[in-house]
Chain A
């Protein structure tokens, strides 16, 4: 697997400075994807996917195993070439980012397997040389708080320690866009909570755009203001999570009654059940029972 990092440069870039402004004075979307199509050996994974992330958004990416979340995140970073479609980061083509734009991205891959023979200290020193900006105080504080040993070869660290190190490396250069692929899979609950706090602090202090995939719905519910559901090679729905929870209903009842529901309100259907949005419980016909949807219900229906 590849990692996105820039080549050395002497021009420092500023966090949320003028670089964000496109010609019209509007900030360029952090991520702008149009019609992205990508597959492996004839098996389609992403099929004409459109997706936009605005600066400062924290978006949780949800999808079943094999839905293509990692493929999508890698294509988003320009690490995979689309068969069709367009991927832009900060207004630039993802495959041909300049160094300044690359330095604004932080990426925690699912499992890197790279640099296993290096020690954590050496790895960080190596990456430090690539970035115009590097928050050494933050790196030291996190290394200590998360108990990552500096003098042990990375290949001999535990899965959790490797994951923490990957997170520290991704935060060190204070990116404007953080892409996290299952960042907490090997972390214990306390480490996860501490990591979420760190994310919240990034958002508070720097307005960082964050996109992360995870199967741990409780984490997502806390920090993701928006959720995006990947299904059938497309983003089936993206919306603020609190609005979805407040508005979505799981309705069940006899099929003929369910078929009479307004089509525009149906987000997903399965036999005898519908996920609805934009209908009040009181408007449902007698014989249809509805309950407010939890994030787990939404995951089940929309992925």
Chain B
């Protein structure tokens, strides 16, 4: 059973909404959660659901199509492109973490936190039942 395609956006960050949508889709496809042939909500549906300007949605869709992640079909909803049937290899998937971790590493430097301590925190976050919730 495929994971339903649902997007979430966060306002107030330096990441434009279209990029947030693209990143989420890239990660879900890499994880094998959204797979080839699965239908995406139409621009209209997603724009209304998220209360976002429709051009923002179509921009994300078009760029993902150019990347080969989405396929446009005449008169039909867009789908996840063929060739994305199974999860990508872990060494490929981990690359999606690089930008976020690079930022975290830079911030750890600025804060003068030793690597061991930063790793310790990351490990604790990874193993907490709700990822992202510090405890």
Contacts and interface: CB of A to CB of B under 8 A. Distances in A.
Interface of A: 58, 193, 196-197, 200-201, 203-204, 217-218, 221-225, 241-242, 245-246, 291-297
Contacts, number: 62
Contact of B53 (A218, A223, A293, A297): A223
A295 B13 CA distance: 8
B12 A218 contact: yes
Contacts of B51: 193, 196-197, 200, 222-223
The interface size bin for chain B is 20 to 34
B52 interface: yes
Nearest to B59: A242
Contacts of B56: 225, 242
A197 B16 contact: no
B125 to A, nearest CB: 23
A245 B16 contact: yes
B32 interface: no
B11 A217 contact: yes
A241 B52 contact: no
A223 B51 CA distance: 7
Given A200-B51, A203-B54, A204-B44, 11 more contacts: A193-B51, A197-B51, A204-B47, A217-B11, A218-B11, A221-B11, A225-B53, A245-B15, A292-B14, A295-B11, A297-B14
24 contacts: A196-B51, A200-B48, A200-B52, A200-B54, A203-B53, A204-B44, A204-B47, A204-B48, A218-B12, A221-B17, A222-B11, A222-B50, A225-B53, A225-B55, A241-B16, A242-B56, A245-B14, A246-B19, A293-B14, A294-B12, A294-B13, A294-B14, A295-B11, A297-B14
B18 interface: yes
A58 B16 contact: no
Nearest to A291: B14
A222 to B, nearest CB: 5
A209 to B, nearest CB: 13
Contacts of B55: 225
A289 to B, nearest CB: 9
Contacts of B44: 204
A197 B17 contact: no
Interface string B25-54: 000000000000000000010011011111
Interface of B: 9, 11-19, 44, 47-48, 50-56, 59
A193 B50 CA distance: 9
Contacts of B9: 222
B11 A204 contact: no
A204 B54 contact: yes
B46 to A, nearest CB: 10
Contact of B12 (A204, A221, A224, A242): A221
A161 to B, nearest CB: 21
Contacts of B52: 200, 222-223
B14 A200 contact: no
Contacts of A221: 11-12, 17
A201 B48 contact: yes
Given A200-B52, A222-B51, A223-B52, A242 B18 contact: yes
A203 B11 CA distance: 21
Contacts of A295: 11-12
Contacts of A204: 44, 47-48, 54
B13 A197 contact: no
A201 B18 CA distance: 19
Nearest to A192: B51
A221 B16 CA distance: 8
